[in-house]
Structure 1
Amino acid sequence: MPADHNQHLIAEVLRQQALLQARLDDEQYNLNLLAKRLWAQQESEKAKLSRELHDGVGQLLTGLTRRLQSLSSNQPEFQELAQLSQMALSDVRQLSRLMSPTILDDLGLVPAIKWLCRNLFEHEDCQYECQFDCTLELPKDISILIFRIAQEALVNIIKHAQASKTKILLSSHHQTIRLDIIDNGLGFEHEKVEKGVGLMSMQDRAQAFNAQLTIYAKANKGSRITLTVAI
């Protein structure tokens, strides 16, 4: 009887554990769905703001630039103002495109990452190399996830790493896609990885899609960010 009783207790404990695990899995699934909706809403807001910048502020700056250019032909003192207005217009257009890159929808992920690299590194003293070996047809939300992770990582490199070389690798194998971004910059201390808003945003995005994000960095030895997503 004691043996039977112990077996019954063990079976009950295992049953309770299975129920608890099932509840935890359901909660995690629901949290991921909520996170995906929040990221989708954020992308929608970015697209709306991008259109407002392009159609509102951009149009006003276009009109102002043309007017100043017209005036500068007869009044040289307006030439500098015209140049400043043109620079502001270029910045607004660039910000609008980065907030909601239509190339991602029009041409796909690989051309979008190439475009992103050209724009971000255009005026930077940092060489970059892109290697693409991705043959998968990607859902829109996965393409946005990978693009935003790449964008955040590259912006961090430009702002903080002081790197002279950056490599962007995108590959696929069976139903898995992998993004690697490697730089030879300053790196950072591992214990500080989770303190930055940008890195936290990347980790939150990856978690919402059950993707694996690993960050390896060492002071003065560069960094490597790897995102792996199952399609």
Structure 2
Amino acid sequence: IISDELGQFDKAIEYHHKALSFSDQIEDNYLYTLYSYSNIALIHKEQKQYEKALDIYKNLFKNKEILLQEPYNYAIILGDYAYVKHLSKNFKTDEITSMFTEAYKISDSLQDIYSLMSISLNASEFYKDINQKDSALFFANRAYHLARETNTNDVILRSLILKSDIEEPDKAKSYLTEYVKLSDSLQNKERAIRNKFARIEFETDLIVERSKQIAKERLWLLFLSIGLIFTLLLLYIIVTQRTKNKELRFHQQQQETNEEIYNLMLSQQDKIDEARVAEKKRISEEIHDGILGRLFGIRLSLDSLNMSTQPEAIETREKYLEDLKEIEQDIRKVSHELNSDFVSGSNYISIIKSLLEKQTKAYKLKYVLRNDDNIDWDSINNKTKIHYYRIIQESLQNIYKHANATEVHISFKQKNNVICLSISDNGSGFDVNKARKGIGLKNINSRVKEIQGELDIISTMDSGTEIRIKTPI
């Protein structure tokens, strides 16, 4: 509409079609289609392209029943259609007169002021052109009075021009005078409005400049804030990393201390084992040399008394002799067992079992320990045994912290001069490819490398975790 009033007719038609492309997406959009196409027809009328305008009106009136759903709009469009027919000069006067009469009657019955003004102006132009001045003056006066009631200045000006063309020269002069006064008044108002808008535009430019300045200041403030945040973040990372390094050094020192304690434990255990073996040997010798000798003497004495012929004495002696033989056999058996080192090689598994009992009790876990009897733990160096001990200890701690498990299985197997340690749980598991390696896993990996072993971690979500370590003997 603005483009139309500015005389930019092609642009106005382009915007109308753009509006129609959106209205096509709305259900029951016939009213909007009606408005847009009728406005496009009026633009063609202003361009004096009457055939194009008539084509649009013909298409609209193919659906007359839809147009009649909005009677006042129907009346306006019918009046415009009649006026375009008149301007094209290809239609009969009676046909156009009939159309104006119908349009006027509908608007008058509805008492719709704006449709009455539009139809009256078009009808006045039509009757003036066919030289029916009475009818032309009637419609011009009707439009003029309605425009006065509603302060519709453009209709007032157009009706004054019509009246000045229709009336006698004396009256026409007064209408033209009124037209000039109203036109000047409107121009003054327009100038005032333009000045006001010019001032607003100037003040708006100042506001825009100030806004740009504020935007620049905000941008600098944003950069400074980002820089400050980045600096604080960097400081936080540095402090956190230093703290982690301190904790790591502390854990390393603690592990070294624990290893020293464990070595002392193993050394002490060796001394205890030596003392136990010596004591067993002493007891064995004592039993063999002392008790057995005495029992042997008693048996000989009783055997010499076997010369008695009394049946009761003979039966008693034989019974005692049999008892002594049994005692002798039992003592020999005990002596033999004491003299053999039956706990040889089992000390390390006892230490592992003690660790498991202590930690699983604290962590509320069930454990299963399996040991391959073919493994000669005494021949394996202490370094390997210490690292295995620490790996099990670290794994139990990880299971308790992260796995939410209820049971853990530990097994030692020997195959082709390789000791295989397996630690598995029934916990929640994790994605081995995506998981971040914490200090626990790093420590385990470091220990495996020190004993030249191979580490394999198998885990999936909700399916538990298994750690496999293979170390050459």
TM-score bin (small chain): 0.5 to 0.7
Amino acid in structure 2 at the alignment position of 1:143: K
Question: Within 1, Cα distance between the matches of 2:383 and 2:257?
Answer: 15
Partners of 1:103 and 1:111 within 8 A in 2: no
Question: Within 1, Cα distance between the matches of 2:417 and 2:349?
Answer: 17
Amino acid in structure 1 at the alignment position of 2:392: A
After TM superposition, which residue ranges in structure 1, 4 or more long, deviate above 3 angstroms? Answer: 40-48, 100-105
Partners of 1:182 and 1:223 within 8 A in 2: yes
Question: Within 1, Cα distance between the matches of 2:451 and 2:436?
Answer: 19
TM-score by length of 1: 0.55
Which structure 2 segments of 5+ residues have no match?
1-251, 270-345
Q: Deviations over 1:88-121 (max 9, x none)?
A: xxxxxxxxxxxx4755452742112101110101
Out of 393, 402, 407, the position equivalent to 1:160 is: 402
Query: What pairs with 1:64-213 in structure 2 (closer than 5 Å)?
Result: 100=262, 103-105=265-267, 106=269, 108-134=347-373, 135-136=375-376, 137-193=379-435, 195-213=437-455
Which shows bigger deviation, 130-139 or 175-184? 130-139
Partners of 2:352 and 2:389 within 8 A in 1: yes
Query: What pairs with 1:22-101 in structure 2 (closer than 5 Å)?
Result: 44-46=256-258, 100=262
Amino acid in structure 1 at the alignment position of 2:454: Q
Q: Answer 1 or 2: higher relative contact order, Cα 8 Å, separation at least 6.
A: 1
Identity of aligned residues (%): 28
Q: Deviations over 1:6-52 (max 9, x none)?
A: xxxxxxxxxxxxxxxxxxxxxxxxxxxxxxxxxx987553356x6xx
Question: Within 2, Cα distance between the matches of 1:217 and 1:104?
Answer: 34
Quote how far apart the aligned CAs of 1:198 are. 0.5
Q: Deviations over 1:118-139 (max 9, x none)?
A: 0101133321111111522210
Aligned partner of 2:281 in structure 1 is: none
Q: Which protein has the bigger helix share?
A: 2
Greater C-alpha radius of gyration: 2
C-alpha change, 1:147 and 1:192, in structure 2 (3 Å) is: farther
Question: Within 1, Cα distance between the matches of 2:385 and 2:360?
Answer: 21
Amino acid in structure 1 at the alignment position of 2:464: G
Aligned partner of 1:88 in structure 2 is: none
Which structure 1 segments of 5+ residues have no match?
1-39, 51-99
Amino acid in structure 2 at the alignment position of 1:204: S
Question: Within 2, Cα distance between the matches of 1:181 and 1:195?
Answer: 18
Partners of 2:429 and 2:465 within 8 A in 1: yes
C-alpha change, 1:133 and 1:194, in structure 2 (3 Å) is: farther
Partners of 1:179 and 1:226 within 8 A in 2: yes
Q: Which protein has the bigger strand share?
A: 1
Partners of 2:383 and 2:451 within 8 A in 1: no
Quote how far apart the aligned CAs of 1:151 are. 1.0
TM-score by length of 2: 0.28
Aligned partner of 2:247 in structure 1 is: none
Question: Within 1, Cα distance between the matches of 2:408 and 2:422?
Answer: 10
* 2:440 partner SS: helix
Question: Within 2, Cα distance between the matches of 1:168 and 1:47?
Answer: 21
* 2:411 partner SS: strand
* 1:156 partner SS: helix
Which shows bigger deviation, 179-188 or 203-212? 203-212
RMSD over aligned CA atoms reads 2.5
Question: Within 1, Cα distance between the matches of 2:428 and 2:415?
Answer: 31
C-alpha change, 1:104 and 1:155, in structure 2 (3 Å) is: farther
* 1:220 partner SS: coil
Question: Within 1, Cα distance between the matches of 2:451 and 2:355?
Answer: 22
C-alpha change, 1:104 and 1:221, in structure 2 (3 Å) is: farther
Partners of 1:104 and 1:111 within 8 A in 2: no
Quote how far apart the aligned CAs of 1:196 are. 1.0
Amino acid in structure 2 at the alignment position of 1:197: I
The aligned length equals: 142
Quote how far apart the aligned CAs of 1:166 are. 0.8
Amino acid in structure 1 at the alignment position of 2:361: E
Aligned partner of 1:225 in structure 2 is: 467
Partners of 1:170 and 1:180 within 8 A in 2: yes
Question: Within 2, Cα distance between the matches of 1:42 and 1:142?
Answer: 19
Quote how far apart the aligned CAs of 1:154 are. 1.2
